[in-house]
Structure 1
Amino acid sequence: MRLLTVIAELGSGGAETVVDDLARHALAGGDLVDLASDGGWRADELAREGAALVRLPLRSSDPADLARSVLRLRRHVRQAPPDVVHAHNVRATLAAHLGTRWPRRRPPLVTTVHGLDAGDYPRAARVLQRCADRVVAVSDDVAERLRAAGLPDDRLVVIENAVPAPVLPAPAVARAALGLPADAPVGLCVARLEAPKRHDLLVEAWRTLPDDAVLLVAGEGSGRAALERQVAAAGLGARVRLLGERHDVPLLLAAADLLVLPSDREGLPMAVLEAMAAGVPVVASAVGGLRSLDRATLELVAPGSAEALAAALGSVLADRPGAAVRAHRAQEAVSQRYSSSAMRLAYQNLFTVQIG
């Protein structure tokens, strides 16, 4: 099988992690994998594993760049016709549809929706109904929003995000590598520095925690400058470390006492699943697919409330035995429901059905 994956970029992020997992599995199974994106460190790694890269300017919102992406896809599929096309989110779907519709035998197009702003679902449903043969929602919440926006149920399937079992270094080794005190409370947030992730709430909540508590923030984005100003104004420069984009999340998880994600919206975030798989306690907003998780496995708080977030963070750090029990339950839940093997098989079966 030749699989053509279309995604805006292939750096850090939940959708990118899913693409990486599926591409590696396909390559290991002897399939041909073409990755069409605006590049990124994951694209470079996958190219070394044998994937073919097609450079598309899909990070841009400029209509001219969308047109360029379509033309490049058309040239590529004439030279290397795919058996199935897998697009991620709406803009990539539109580019994939327009870029692969002209061959004599148009390949089936499967789209995965990883989560959108609430107001974007009606337009997304219209585009997906016209362009995609099958739509995958990464959580029941995303599926329900697409249905409510008008996407026919027979076009829709839920395949939940999943993560492989992590390999972590010893906590003492991880903390030494990061220059962290051995006994300090350490929190970790892995998320793009963009408004919906609500790092502003996190910094506000962190001010209320013990003076030795350290927060590691892994991610980059347009909100970095504002976040730096907020950290400085709060006098937290020594306690909040902005690490930038990181490719060593297992090391960060090994050093952390908890992972926190205070987002306003989510599909089913990979950062949370990775922490659960690693046995790291989680505090997160009760939004999107996170609301379907068993509350016995993590602390879910009302979105948009720094006070609720601070209370949950303080509770987890104060009750280490209780947090450890929830983290162990979380590991079991991931192994039973969110395993990479189950996700890979579900996509493989879907692609096979679509190819016919």
Structure 2
Amino acid sequence: MKALHVITGLGVGGAEQQLRLLLGHLPVRCDVVTLANPGPVADGLRSDGVRVTHLGMGGNRDLSALPRLAGLIRAGGYDLVHTHLYRACLYGRLAARLAGVRAVVATEHSLGDTRIEGRRLTAGVRALYLAGERLGRATIAVSPTVAERLRRWGVPGRRVRTIPNGIDASRLRYDAVRRAEAREFYGIPQDAYVVGGLGRLDPGKRFDLLVHALHRLPADVRLLLVGGGRQEEALRRTAHDLGVADRVVLTGERPHLPAPRDHAPALSSLLSAMDVLAAPSAEEAFGLAVLEALAAGLPVLYTTCPAIDDLPAHTAPRARRVTGGIDAYVRELLRLRAAGPGGRAVPDAVRHYSIERTAGQLMDVYTAVLSGSTWK
């Protein structure tokens, strides 16, 4: 089997890093096309031995990308095309059809109740999504919550399969040496209490709530935000205005594994440097950051996380749902700080979402799609 993965971009994001991790566990020859932004994850994929092609798409309405992508699919002799993220799903499904490839799978990574990948869900966005979806054979939802949203939109239930994101817990395991090194790199005192945030710096993630909470927390508390995005400067201004700029560290985008000659701490080291992860986003499709923090043995405070809410409570005893705003997060952070470290045990929820299990479920879908069969 030869498969082509088509993705909108390869910057450091959850879907992008999930693709890299997944390709290391699929027993299939896979190539990747990125429509735009061949960022650090593209470099990582190439270092893994994956062929990555940058299509050079100029924008959402660059229709010249369609025949170029169709030609690439045709020339590559691919048996199956797998698309990821909104723009790539639209162009990838249509290009595969033009190239004569009928075995098309899409993964829906980021469908919320009101937004998709930060884009507001208008009637036009929904209509385009549904039109493109009909050109594929299967749509994979990363959680039962997303699967239900797809069905409510009108995607036939027989075409929807739930396969959660997977993680490689061994890469994220707590390490005391890396904890000290990461804190030293960013100038964080070794005895500070570090609240972490992980994800795209967009308004929907509500990291501004954590900056406001920091203003009301003791002086030994630091905020470590890992990610890049359009809200970065606004967060810096808020921290300055509140007088806590010297207690906030913004690392920018950090991959799971650093690229060659990249000496800044990777994600695993940054998770080790934290004492708690706070995830105040009010709308998540899965909640990968929460699982990654749990794999590092951290306690977690979150507002929405289908990955945890879909499991029995005992599988993640140190993950606590927080309803409310700044006051609620301040109260819970003070409680955890007073309780002390509490160990770094990895909960059962992490094992439930192993990348090996995810890869095996995806292979079942590939086999079904190539044979033309469906599932109940």
CA distance in 2, matches of 1:60, 1:283: 37
Partner of 2:348: 332
Match of 1:130 among 125, 129, 134: 134
1:97 Cα deviation (Å)?
1.5
1:128 Cα deviation (Å)?
4.8
CA distance in 1, matches of 2:33, 2:129: 25
Partner of 2:117: none
Change (3 A) 1:59 1:8: farther
Partner of 2:14: 14
CA distance in 2, matches of 1:173, 1:234: 28
1:280 Cα deviation (Å)?
1.2
Match of 2:279 among 245, 251, 261: 261
Partner of 2:303: 285
Q: Does 1:42 align with 2:22?
A: no
Partner of 2:290: 272
CA distance in 2, matches of 1:123, 1:287: 27
Q: Does 1:237 align with 2:237?
A: no
Q: Does 1:161 align with 2:168?
A: no
Partner of 2:334: 314
CA distance in 1, matches of 2:86, 2:110: 10
Provide structure 2 residue ranges, at least 5 long, that are not aligned to the other structure. Answer: 115-120, 256-265, 372-376
> 1:162, 1:273 within 8 Å by CA — same for their partners in 2?
no
> 1:184, 1:213 within 8 Å by CA — same for their partners in 2?
yes
Partner of 1:300: 321
CA distance in 2, matches of 1:79, 1:109: 17
Change (3 A) 1:143 1:310: same
The SS at the match of 2:327 is helix
Alignment of 1:54-73 (within 5 A): 54-57=53-56, 60-61=59-60, 63-64=61-62, 67-73=63-69
1:207 Cα deviation (Å)?
1.4
The number of aligned residues is 344
> 1:278, 1:331 within 8 Å by CA — same for their partners in 2?
no
The SS at the match of 2:78 is coil
The SS at the match of 2:210 is helix
Percent of aligned positions that are identical: 33
1:44 Cα deviation (Å)?
1.4
Per-residue CA deviations over 1:328-349 (Å, capped at 9, x if unaligned) read: 3x532211x1111100111112
Partner of 2:93: 97
CA distance in 1, matches of 2:145, 2:58: 26
> 1:93, 1:131 within 8 Å by CA — same for their partners in 2?
no
Please say which of residues 275-284 and 119-128 is displaced more in the overlay.
119-128
1:59 Cα deviation (Å)?
8.2
What TM-score do you get using the length of structure 2 for normalisation?
A: 0.85
Q: Does 1:33 align with 2:31?
A: yes
Please say which of residues 29-38 and 227-236 is displaced more in the overlay.
29-38
CA distance in 1, matches of 2:145, 2:28: 34
Per-residue CA deviations over 1:41-63 (Å, capped at 9, x if unaligned) read: 111121232222221346833x1
CA distance in 1, matches of 2:277, 2:69: 39
Change (3 A) 1:30 1:271: same
Change (3 A) 1:132 1:309: farther
CA distance in 1, matches of 2:28, 2:306: 35
Provide structure 1 residue ranges, at least 5 long, that are not aligned to the other structure. Answer: none
Partner of 1:223: 231
Change (3 A) 1:125 1:79: closer
1:217 Cα deviation (Å)?
0.8
CA distance in 2, matches of 1:33, 1:107: 18
Partner of 1:351: 366
The SS at the match of 2:24 is helix
CA distance in 2, matches of 1:151, 1:292: 21
CA distance in 2, matches of 1:172, 1:44: 27
CA distance in 2, matches of 1:79, 1:48: 24
After superposing on structure 2, the runs of 4+ consecutive aligned residues of structure 1 that deviate more than 4 Å are 287-290
Change (3 A) 1:259 1:124: farther
Q: Does 1:152 align with 2:160?
A: no
Q: CA RMSD in A?
A: 2.1
The SS at the match of 2:175 is coil
> 2:173, 2:268 within 8 Å by CA — same for their partners in 1?
yes
CA distance in 2, matches of 1:355, 1:140: 24
Output the amino acid matched with 1:312. E
> 2:290, 2:305 within 8 Å by CA — same for their partners in 1?
no
Match of 2:105 among 96, 110, 115: 110
